[in-house]
Chains A and B, each alone.
Chain A
C-alpha cells in the first residue's frame, strides 16, 4: 500500500466518521421532542393578542415583567396578530399541532369555533379563582358548565361616533334611524369631509356590521333551528342601506377594516364613525383637537326595524393541544385578572377595553384615568349599548350557541356578499342568494 493510498484511506475514514456523526446528530436532534425533559427549567407560554397599539404593547411588557418576576419558571412570549388574520392563523397552528397557549382579545366566534371542535380548555377553574366576573361576560362563553373562554374585556365595537361640531353646523341631530342617517351623511359630505366611515373591506369588521344591519332590518343568518336563512328581506335591506351609504364614505372604503375605519374618523376625515371606545383614546393620543367634538351614540337602525347592536366580550381562551403548557397558561390567566395587572391592561386602551371584573370596574385606581374621566357620558352610552348588545355566536335569546358562526365569519362570506353589491353592482337578491349557498355549504360540512 503506497503512502498516497494510506493518506486517501485516512482521509476517507475521517470523512466517513464525520458524515456518520453528522447523520447521527441530525437523527437524534430531529427525533427528540422540542422541550427536553432533561435540564429544562423554564416553560414558555405563548400569547397571541390582537391588541397591538404601541401603548398597549408597553403595558403588556410591564404585565409580563411583573408576572415573570413572580413566576421565574414561566416565560411569556407575546405575539401580535391582526383581527382579520387570527382565525386562519389559528386554524393553521392547530393543524400543525402548535397552537399558542393563550389567545387574547379575539372576536367571540374564534373560541366558539374551536370549542365546537373540542380544541379549547375549560376555564371554569380560573373564573372561580378570580371570582367577581360580570355574569354576562361568563354567560356568553359558557356551554353547559364548560367555560370555553373568559372575556378579556368588554368592547362595544358598534358604537356610532359623531362630530358634534359638524352636526351643529348643519343643524342636524344625531340620526336615530337609517333614513335620517343617510340624509345626515349626504349633508355632511362636503369640503373634504366625508359623511361616514363604514367598513366595506373583505374582513372581520364588515362581517360584524353586516350581521348587525341584517338583524336590525329584521333578518337573520342562521335561524334558531340551525337552518340557513341568509337570503331574506332583512339581508336585502341591509345591503341596500350599506350600498347607499357607500356614496358618502371615503374612496378607499372598499378596503376598510378596523384600523382604516377608525383612522378615517379619528383623523377628522369623516363626520360619522363606528368603533369602540378606542376612538376616544386614539383621539386623545393622535388628534386631541377633536376630543371635545365627538360623542358616542347608539347606531342608527331602520325606522320599522329592530334595536340591535353587536358588542363583544373579547375572548381570552386557552387552546388545547399536546404541546400546550396548560397549567402555566392558567397561572398566567389568573394573574392577568388581578386588579393591578388588569387595570394596567385596561388603561392601555381606556374606554376600548372595559372591565369584566367588578372589583376592578369599581376601583378608584381604574376610574382614575383622564380619558375615562373626561368622557363619562360616552362611557355610560357604551355601557348602555352593551346592556342591549349581543354576541355573534349567540345572536338572540332564542338562538342556541351557533359555533359554526366562527366558520361563517372566518370565510368572509358576508363581507364578500357586501362587496358583490357595492363593487360589482350585483342586486342584493342575487348577492344574498350566492351567500345563502356558501353559508349552507359551511353549515353542512
Chain B
C-alpha cells in the first residue's frame, strides 16, 4: 500500500499546481515564440502563405554579408547611445532639481511624468507637427528669430533625422530616469551633505563626492535597463521616419519588420531578430551580474 503523502509533499504538489499557469504563460508567450523564431531563421518562408523550406545558415550568411544589416546595426548603436546619454543627463539634472525644496515641487513631480505616460502614437503625432516644414512651431520659431532663412527638413535629411528621433526618444523616456534617481536621492542621508558643507565642500564637490557615488548603483541598473529597451525600440522610429531617409535611421527592429512584412522574407526577419537577441543577451548578462553584485552589497 502506497505511503500517504506528507504535508510537505502535499504542499509542494499544490505549489506546482499553483505555479503551473505562470509556467504555461511563460511557455506559450516566451519559450514557444523564441524556439519558433530560431527555427524560422533557418528556413526561407513567405510571410503571406507561410510556405517555406529549410535553408540552414543561408539567411544568416546573406544578412551578415548585406551592407543594410551593418548600417542598421551602427544606426542602432548611435540611436541607443544618443538617446540614453540624453535621458541620463536630463534625468539626473531634473531629478536633482525636483529634489530641491521649491514651492511647486509636487506639481512639477507630477507633470514630469507626462511624456512617459503619453501614448507613443500621440507623442509622435505631436512631434511630427512640431517638426513639420510648413506648419511646424519649431521651424516657425527658427525662421522668425532669424536663426535660419528657410525651414529645416528635420526628418528628411541626415544627420537631422537621427538627431530628431534621439531628441524625441530622450524626451519620451527621461522621466523613468528622473523617477529612479529621485527615489535614490531621497534616501541619501542629509548628514553627509551637512558634514561636507561644514568641511567647506562646494555644490560641485558635494555632487561629485557624495551624490554621484550614492547614485552610481542605481544609475548602472537604469542605464542597462534603458539600453536594453532603447536598443529594441521600434514604434518611435517607425512612426517618426520609417527608417528613412533611405536607411539612415533604420535600426535592427525596423530591419526585422522590413524583411518580415514588406519584403515577405519571414525567415530572414527571424534571423535578424535572433542576432538582435544575441546582442541583447550581452546587455542582459551584464545587468544580471551587476544586479547580483548590488544584491550582495
Contacts and interface: CB of A to CB of B under 8 A. Distances in A.
Interface string B228-247: 00000000000001111111
A407 B261 CA distance: 10
B227 interface: no
Contacts of B46: 117, 445
Nearest to B143: A192
B48 A255 contact: no
A15 B157 CA distance: 62
A5 B243 contact: no
Interface stretch (A19-27, A277-285, A376-384, A391-399): A19-27
Contacts, number: 118
A254 B131 CA distance: 13
Contact of A269 (B18, B134, B155): B134
Task: Name the prevailing secondary structure of the A interface residues.
Answer: helix
A253 interface: yes
Contacts of A89: 261
B242 A252 contact: no
Contact of B151 (A19, A92, A252, A445): A252
Interface stretch (B169-177, B195-203, B262-270, B284-292): B262-270
B7 interface: yes
B134 A202 contact: no
Given A8-B7, A119-B48, A420-B246, A252 B155 contact: yes
Given A95-B47, A201-B244, A251-B151, A12 B14 contact: yes
Interface string A26-51: 10000000000000000000000000
B32 interface: no
Contacts of A203: 242
B121 interface: no
Interface residues of B, number: 44
Nearest to A257: B242
Contacts of A5: 7
A87 B260 CA distance: 12
Contact of B156 (A19, A267, A423): A423
Interface in B45-73: 46-50
A161 interface: no
Contacts of A72: none
A202 B135 CA distance: 21
A9 B48 CA distance: 54
Given A23-B21, A251-B133, A416 B264 contact: no
| Residue among B7, B133, B153 with the highest chain A CB neighbour number at 10 A | B133
Contacts of A12: 10-11, 14
Nearest to B258: A411
Interface in A223-273: 250-255, 263-264, 267, 269
A423 B261 contact: no
Contacts of B264: 91, 407, 410, 445
Given A88-B261, A442-B263, 17 more contacts: A12-B14, A15-B14, A19-B14, A19-B17, A91-B48, A92-B261, A117-B46, A119-B48, A202-B246, A251-B150, A252-B132, A267-B135, A412-B262, A419-B244, A423-B248, A424-B246, A445-B265
Interface of A: 5, 8, 12, 15-16, 19-20, 22-23, 26, 87-89, 91-92, 94-95, 114, 117, 119, 200-203, 250-255, 263-264, 267, 269, 407, 410-412, 416, 419-420, 423-424, 442, 445
27 contacts: A12-B11, A12-B14, A16-B14, A91-B261, A91-B262, A91-B264, A117-B49, A119-B48, A250-B134, A250-B151, A251-B153, A252-B131, A252-B132, A252-B154, A252-B156, A253-B156, A254-B155, A254-B157, A255-B155, A255-B245, A263-B134, A407-B264, A416-B246, A419-B246, A423-B158, A442-B263, A445-B265
